[in-house]
Structure 1
Amino acid sequence: MEKISEETIDHIAHLSRLRFEGDAKVAIRQDMDKIIGFMGKLSEIPTDDVEPLIFMSDEVNVLRDDEPEVTITQAEALKNAPKKDSDYFRIAKVLDK
Structure 2
Amino acid sequence: MVTKEQVDHIAHLCKLKFAEEEKERIIHEFNVTLKELEAFNQIDLENVAPTLGVNKHVQRLREDIVGPSLDRDEVLENTVEKQYGYFKLLKIVE
Normalising by structure 2, we get a TM-score of 0.64
Q: Structure 1: where are the runs of 5+ without partners?
A: 79-84
Q: Give distance in 1, aligned partners of 2:67 and 2:2.
A: 58
Deviation at 1:42, TM superposition (A): 0.9
Q: How does 1:1-97 map to 2 (within 5 A)?
A: 3-68=1-66, 88-89=74-75, 90=77, 91-93=79-81, 94-95=88-89
Q: Give distance in 1, aligned partners of 2:17 and 2:55.
A: 41
Q: Give distance in 2, aligned partners of 1:8 and 1:64.
A: 45
Deviation at 1:46, TM superposition (A): 0.9
Larger radius of gyration: 1
Q: Structure 2: where are the runs of 5+ without partners?
A: 82-87
Deviation at 1:44, TM superposition (A): 0.9
One-letter identity of the residue aligned with 2:33: I
Instruction: Let me know the Cα RMSD of the aligned residues.
Output: 2.8
Percent of pairs identical after alignment?
Answer: 25
